[in-house]
Structures are given as C-alpha cells and as structure tokens.
C-alpha cells in the first residue's frame, strides 16, 4: 500500500499533464458533438425525407459500431487523405461518436415539446424556423440538460480509448507506467482515481447548472 | 371576410368534412356547435391552415389561399387563434408571450410592443400579471392571456377552438366575458364551443354541424327555439 501512495505522488506531475489532455480532448470533442448533434436533430425534425435518411444512417452506423473501431477508422482512414495530428483525429472521432448520441437526445427533447406550441407559434404568423428558434428549442434544450450531462460523463471516460492512437492522456500514461513497473493493478487504479475525481467535478458543475435552470425557467 | 366553398377533409380513410360551404361577414360572430366528431374543430383549424383541406376553396379577405403558393405565415398574421389548451409559451412571461409575435414577426419596436401589450393585458383584466410566468396562472387567466396574445397581432378575424372546454366551471365566465367584450367591439369571430348560453347571447349566427356537414344554420333565437333538423333537435335536447 505504501508503494501505491509513493507511485501516486511521484507520478502526480505527469498525470496532471495527462489529465489536462483528457480534459482538452473531452471539452473540444463535446463542443463539436453538441454542434453536430443539434444540426442532425434539426435535420431529422424537419420531416424532409432524405434528411431523415441521412440522420438514420449516421446514428445507425455510429451506434452500431464500437468507438474504438471509429477511432481507428478516423486515424488510419482520414490521415491517408489529410494530414491530421493524433489529437485531432482522436477529438474528431470522439465528437462524431458523441454527436450521434447527442443528436438522439436533442431529437427526443424537441419532439417531446407539446405540438400545441408549434401550432400556437404558427397561428401567430411565425415561420417554422423562427418558431423552432424562439419557442421550441428553448424548451427542448432545457429538457436536454440532464441527459446531456450523462452523455458528457460518458464522453469524458470514453476519451480513454484514444490511448490506442498514441495520445498521452490518463489511460495511456497508466498503461506506460504499468508496462514499465509491472504494477498493473496500481497504475490502472490510479487512472481510475483521476477519472473519478474528474467525473465528480463535472457532476458537481452539472448539478449547479440544473438547479439554476429550474429556478430561472 | 372568410369564405369556404365545398371543403372536404380526410384523415386517412375518415371523411371528416364533406363539402362545407360557409361565409363569415366582417364583424359577424359565428358560433359553430355540434356533437364531438361532427367536424367543427377540424373546420376551424382548416381556416387557419393548421389542418390542410383536401378539396375545396378557402378565401380570406376575398383572396383564395392556396397553401402551395401562398406563404401561410402571412395569412395567419391576420387570423388570430385561441386554443382549448391555451398553448402559452411556458418559458416566457405573460408580457413576453404577448409581445413575441409583434416584435419578431411584425417587427414592431419593442417599446411600442410592450406598451400595446400592457394595454391588451389591461383589457383582459390581467394588467398586474405581465411579469409572471404562465404556470402561476389559473386556467381562466391563461386563456385570457392567450386571447391578448392573439389580439396583439391585430388580426382581422379571431378563431376560438373550444376556449372554455379545459376550464374549471367557475372560470368559464371570465373568459366568456372577455369574448363578449370583443364581439361588442366589432371583432369578427368564429367560435367552436359547447357554451350554449354564449351562443344564444352573443352569436349573430349559429352553425350546427353534423357528420361533417352543416346541417342547419340561422340566428340563435330561431335556432334554439325551433330547430328544424332532427339531429339539431336531438343535440339541443341533450345539451340544454
């Protein structure tokens, strides 16, 4: 047990750097995923047939294949065409992955808004796009916050999979340390602790946001 | 003001409106009654193109509205609608509900819209409720806000789709009072309702729908005293 704490302390600076990488991967990929998710959800709810087909294809493929496969597709596939750093290959793969789940969250929340809201907006002379922006989306986005928070936490932990394309983040750092020291259990537990701490912070921030949204309407 | 010619509407195989002809003159108050399923709400919603007709013609202000070629949002600016379930925007305050369309559709300057909005809330007896959210209001208050919201677009005709059907009985009166006031001001109104007292007192004409057709229509006095159509007799004997 003493060696566990010694290892925890001695690797602290390296892990803090790795944690910063994990946070950047997660943060950038989730911002991109929110944009992707919103665009696809809006495509789906227009009711335009071919847009719906594109949506179903995207969500179907992403949800139907493992994230690690998608990361490999992007890293080994796209980089044959364009020059992409491992960071951006990993970030984009994570963004496309989370984007599908976030699209489903947005779609569900938009469709859960009572249809009388759109009717009322249209009866006042609002075009559909304006009604969507002013009336439907504010209500839908508020409802999306709890499931989005859940998805953010999943995204944070899923970022560990980019370890396999050579990005030094928490999981890959613990793999390296485990390989060198043969203390696998210790270093993967250390990785677990860092994730636990980061998820705790994210959870705290999300609960604050949820509380604020409830009172502010 | 509004003219409907040989209107047909289907929901799948269900033939809901079977060739309805209806004309509403300026400043006229037309009350549509009939059993549930008779097509009265569908007819009303067709007038605002929330339901699309399958056959027939709809003329608003003398111009035929073809949904394929006419921008419906422009038509709807002149046709106010009040719904059974109010459909207020829950994320906006009462005043924001009222000024939303004037500001974002008509591009009325915000200060002017607020001034006008407050006048309208005053008119429906809710001058002190501008800053509260709809969830704090009773059903009757919500419906009065919905009326003010529709009036804020200065429509030339107001459609009411069972405006008191979702209200507790003791709240029906306050909404009907506002509607009576509107009728007295000369607003053109088409009202679907089960409030026979309102029909009798306020309507210029009562239209009785049965099975997707106008079975009988006339001035309320004659209609309620002496209905001709057997279905109308039957209906009135049940509701009066």
What is A171-217 written as a DSSP string?
A: HHHHHHHHHHH--HHHHHHHHHHHHHHHHHHHHHHHHHHHHHHHHH-
Residue A79 pLDDT exceeds 90: no
Residue A216 pLDDT exceeds 60: no
Contact A130 B104 (CB under 8 A): yes
Contact B150 A127 (CB under 8 A): no
Chain A residues near residue B85 by CB distance under 8 angstroms? 116
- Who's near B164: CB < 8 A, 6+ residues apart? B143, B171, B172, B175, B176, B193, B194, B195
ipTM: 0.93
Residue A22 pLDDT exceeds 80: yes
B217 min Cα distance to partner chain A (Å): 27
Q: How many Cα atoms within 13 Å fall on the side-chain side of residue A12?
A: 6
Contact A123 B48 (CB under 8 A): yes
Contact B87 A130 (CB under 8 A): no
In contact, B72 and B23? CB cutoff 8 Å: no
Tell me if chain B has a CB within 8 Å of the CB of A214.
no
Bridge pairing between strands B79-82 and B2-11: unpaired
Query: Cα A172 from chain centroid?
Result: 19
* DSSP for residue A161: G
- Who's near B238: CB < 8 A, 6+ residues apart? none
Q: How many Cα atoms within 13 Å fall on the side-chain side of residue B165?
A: 15
Question: Tell me, what CATH number does A127's domain have?
Answer: 1.10.3720.10
Position A150 confidence tier, pLDDT thresholds 50, 70, 90: very high
User: Looking at residue A214, what is its pLDDT?
Assistant: 72
Contact B91 A125 (CB under 8 A): no
Chain A residues near residue B72 by CB distance under 8 angstroms? 122
Closest residue of chain A to B50, computed from CA coordinates: A119
Contact B87 A114 (CB under 8 A): yes
In contact, B37 and B46? CB cutoff 8 Å: no
Q: What percent of chain A has pLDDT over 70?
A: 98
Contact A217 B90 (CB under 8 A): yes
Chain A residues near residue B87 by CB distance under 8 angstroms? 114, 116-117, 119-120
Token representation of residue A26: 């997660």
Chain B residues near residue A145 by CB distance under 8 angstroms? none
Mean pLDDT value of segment A35-40? 97
Residue A82 pLDDT exceeds 90: no
Task: Find the DSSP H helices in A113-183.
Answer: 115-123, 128-131, 137-158, 170-181
Bridge pairing between strands B29-33 and B14-24: unpaired
Helix axes A49-64, A86-112, angle to 10 degrees: 120
Q: What percent of chain A has pLDDT over 90?
A: 84
Q: How many CB atoms lie within 10 A of CB B112?
A: 12
In contact, A33 and A94? CB cutoff 8 Å: yes
Contact A120 B106 (CB under 8 A): no
User: Looking at residue A1, what is its pLDDT?
Assistant: 63
Contact B87 A122 (CB under 8 A): no
Closest residue of chain A to B101, computed from CA coordinates: A124
* DSSP for residue A1: -
Rg value, chain B, Cα: 18
Class of B2-237 per CATH?
alpha beta
Mean pLDDT value of segment A155-160? 96
User: Looking at residue A72, what is its pLDDT?
Assistant: 92
Q: Residue B60 belongs to what H/E stretch?
A: strand B55-60
CA distance A68 to B183: 68
Number of domains in chain A: 1
Token representation of residue B180: 């009576």
Scan residues 111-170 of A and list those with Cβ closer than 8 Å to B. 114, 116-117, 119-127, 130, 134-135, 138-139, 142
pTM of the prediction?
Answer: 0.89
Closest residue of chain B to A118, computed from CA coordinates: B87
DSSP per position, A57-105 = HHHHHHHHS-HHHHHHIIIIIGGGTS---HHHHHHHHHHHHHHHHHHHH
Cα–Cα nearest to B145, from B207, B217, B94: B94
Instruction: Tell me what the pLDDT averaged over chain A comes to.
Output: 93
In contact, A136 and A77? CB cutoff 8 Å: no
* From A120, A130, A217, residue closest to B87, measured CB to CB: A120
Contact A117 B89 (CB under 8 A): yes
* From B85, B89, B101, residue closest to A125, measured CB to CB: B101
* From B77, B83, B85, residue closest to A125, measured CB to CB: B77
Cα–Cα nearest to A31, from A105, A101, A84, A98: A98
Tell me if chain B has a CB within 8 Å of the CB of A47.
no
CA distance A92 to A88: 6
In contact, A118 and A135? CB cutoff 8 Å: yes
Domain limits for position A14: 1-213
CA distance B10 to A67: 47
Burial (0-12, 13-18, 19+ Cβ within 10 Å), B8: middle
Contact A124 B101 (CB under 8 A): yes
CA distance B207 to B193: 11
State pLDDT tens for residues B65-74: 988 888 999 9
Residue A132 pLDDT exceeds 90: yes
Point out the residues of chain B with pLDDT beneath 70: none
State pLDDT tens for residues A89-107: 999 999 999 999 999 999 9
Rg value, chain A, Cα: 21
Contact A130 B76 (CB under 8 A): no
Q: Is B213 helix (H, G, I), strand (E, B) or coil?
A: strand
Helix axes A2-10, A12-45, angle to 10 degrees: 70
Tell me if chain A has a CB within 8 Å of the CB of B137.
no
Handedness of CA B36, B210, B147, A119 (dihedral sign): positive
User: Looking at residue A213, what is its pLDDT?
Assistant: 81
Q: Where are the domains of chain B?
A: 2-237
């Amino acid at each position: 047990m003493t060696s566990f704490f010694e290892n925890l302390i001695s690797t602290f600076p390296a892990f803090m750097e790795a944690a910063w990488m994990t946070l950047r991967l997660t943060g950038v990929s989730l911002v991109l995923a929110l944009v992707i998710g919103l665009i696809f959800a809006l495509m789906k709810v227009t009711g335009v047939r071919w847009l719906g087909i594109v949506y179903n294809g995207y969500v179907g493929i992403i949800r139907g294949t493992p994230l690690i496969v998608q990361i490999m597709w992007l890293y080994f596939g796209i980089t044959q065409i364009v020059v992409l750093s491992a960071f951006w290959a990993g970030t984009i793969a994570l963004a496309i992955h989370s984007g599908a789940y976030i699209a489903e969250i947005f779609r569900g929340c938009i469709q859960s808004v009572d249809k009388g809201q759109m009717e009322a907006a249209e009866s006042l002379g609002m075009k559909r796009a304006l009604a969507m922006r002013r009336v439907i989306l504010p209500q839908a986005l508020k409802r999306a916050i709890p499931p989005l928070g859940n998805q953010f936490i999943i995204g944070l932990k899923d970022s560990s999979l980019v370890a396999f394309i050579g990005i030094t983040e928490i999981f890959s750092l613990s793999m390296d340390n485990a390989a060198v020291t043969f203390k696998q259990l210790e270093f993967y537990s250390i990785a677990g602790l860092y994730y636990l701490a980061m998820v705790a912070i994210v959870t705290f921030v999300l609960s604050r946001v949820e509380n604020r949204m409830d009172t502010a309407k | 003001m509004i003219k409907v010619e040989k209107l047909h509407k289907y929901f799948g195989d269900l033939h809901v409106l079977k060739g309805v002809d209806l004309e509403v003159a300026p400043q006229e108050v037309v009350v549509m009654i009939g059993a549930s399923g008779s097509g009265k709400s569908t007819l009303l919603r067709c007038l605002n193109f929330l339901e699309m007709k399958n056959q027939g013609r709809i003329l608003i202000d003398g111009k035929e509205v073809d949904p394929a070629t006419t921008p419906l949002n422009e038509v709807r600016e002149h046709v106010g609608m009040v719904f059974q379930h109010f459909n207020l925007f829950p994320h906006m305050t009462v005043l924001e509900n009222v000024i939303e369309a004037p500001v974002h559709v008509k591009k009325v300057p915000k200060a002017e819209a607020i001034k006008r909005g407050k006048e309208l809330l005053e008119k429906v007896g809710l001058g002190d409720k501008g800053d509260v959210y709809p969830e704090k209001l009773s059903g009757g208050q919500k419906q009065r806000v919905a009326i003010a919201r529709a009036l804020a677009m200065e429509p030339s005709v107001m459609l009411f789709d069972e405006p008191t059907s979702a209200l507790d009985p003791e709240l029906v009166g306050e909404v009907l009072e506002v509607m009576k006031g509107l009728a007295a001001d000369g607003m053109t109104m088409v009202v679907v309702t089960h409030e026979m007292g309102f029909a009798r007192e306020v309507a210029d004409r009562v239209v009785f729908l049965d099975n997707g057709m106008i079975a009988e229509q006339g001035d309320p006095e004659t209609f309620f005293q002496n209905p001709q159509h057997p279905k109308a007799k039957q209906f009135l004997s049940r509701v009066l």
